[in-house]
Every structure is written in structure tokens, then in C-alpha cells.
Amino acid sequence: RIGGMKGRAAVARVRALAMQGLVSRKGDTAGRTDLLSLMMEARDPETGIGLTDDEIADNIVTFIAAGHETTALALSWVLYLIANIPEWQQKLRDEVNEVFGDGPITPEGVERLKLHERIINEAMRLFPPATAIGRMATEETEVGGVEVGTKDRLVLALYALHRNETLWDNPDEFDPDRFLPENHKDRHRFSFLPFSAGPRICIGMKFAMLEAQAVLAAVIRDLRFEPEPDHEVRLRSTITLRPENGMPLKVFPLEG
């Protein structure tokens, strides 16, 4: 009960800050390309109607609350995996140096980081930031021999789905090449659901992937990661899949 009260109070504070930022930005969105300005400028192409202040504030809170933790966890698992498999770490570094050299990380360049994308996808397959998705049946059906009635609630266990040996070869093995186009094209659409799918797919999927790729590129270009040998990695599944007791790694600046 206390946790619920604290949670609601925290959300209220974040929402108040979002609304404060929105109010201060009014009349100053021309030429800006940040998320807040873009939402304030957005209009329905058919009706010309824009988002209300409440809708914009709610979306900002969603991006902060839902987008921050899941992306941070995905990157934590990526760094853990490549710290233990240095050849993939070097391949990432080679790609970012080939695309950007010593220049800045740009959105246009991030689109070319195909290995970064595959490695992030493989990390989310093994350690999906959201471990389960809840859905309500809209009609009667049957799933695996079980009758499902209208309005029955179902839970999709993503950790189990992503490691199902009937869907994936060597499912517990880290293999980013399973996401090469030629290897992924014939796989069932719903065998990989880190962002869900269908009409309720995560609205921030593209944003999250670009963000994760950009951060990974910026970090891997300058730093080298090694595992902490005395730390036992244990999983803790709540709403998200966390490394219990954190994810300590050894971090070294690259020479030169």
C-alpha cells in the first residue's frame, strides 16, 4: 500500500514536470526537432487536430517511465554478453569506426549499424526487458488444446517463447547472425516479441532501437568491457527482467 502511494506520488511529480516543460515550450517550437516540440506540432492529416496538453504530458511520462528502464536493461544485457564474448565486441567496434570514423554519432549513420541492431535483438531474445505480455481474448478460440473464452486473460511468457527449441536452433546460445535477413525471413512472425506485435505493438519501438544503437555505438567506440569474475549473474523477473544485484563489469578506456 505504501509502495503504491509512493509510486502514484512519483508519477504525479514526473507528470507535473512534463506539463511544466510543455507550458514553457509553447510558442517556441518552430524549427525544433526534439520529441516535445514534434508532439506539440503534430496534426492529424485528415482533421488537422493536434494532441491536447494532457495527451502530450501523458506521452512524455510514458517515454520517460516505459522507455528509460527497458532500454537501459537491454543495453545492460548487451554489455554483459559482449564482455564475455570479446570477438563480438570487436566486431561492434569495427562497425562503428567504419560508419562514423572519428565523427559524431548521427541518426543517418545509426541506420547503417546493422550488426548493432542484430546484437541488440539477440540480447533481447535471450533477456527480454519485458518478460511477459498480457492480453484479453476478443473471441472464443483454442490455444494448444486449451479452450479460451471471450474476455479470458492470457499471458505470453516471452522469456520462454524466445528460448523455445521448436522455434530456435540452440536457443540458449548467443548468436546475432540468427537475425541476418536470410536467417530471419522464414521465422514465424510471433516467435520474437520484445516489443509485442499487432495493434498493441510498442509505440516507441523504433525510437528505442535507434536510442539503444546510438548509445551502444558511442560507448563501444571508446571503451572496452570485461566481466567481473567474482560476480554471479542472477535473473530477477518483476515487470522487467533485471540482473539481481546489478551488472558490475570491468571498463577500460581504449588506448590511443
The one catalytic residue in 127, 192, 195, 225 is 195
Question: Residue 204 and residue 58: Cα distance in Å, rounded?
Answer: 14
Q: Which candidate, 206, 247, 203, 237, places its Cα nearest to that of 130?
A: 237
The one catalytic residue in 71, 127, 202, 225 is 202
* Residue 241, beta-bridge partner list: 237
| 89, 116 contact by CB (below 8 A) | no
Q: Which candidate, 160, 190, 161, 207, places its Cα nearest to that of 66?
A: 207
C-alpha distances in Å from residue 114, one per residue of 39, 209, 213, 225:
28, 11, 9, 21
The one catalytic residue in 70, 127, 131, 225 is 70
3-class DSSP state for residue 37? helix
Per the annotation, the verdict on 195 as an active-site residue is: yes
Per the annotation, the verdict on 70 as an active-site residue is: yes
**Residues involved in catalysis:** 70, 195, 202
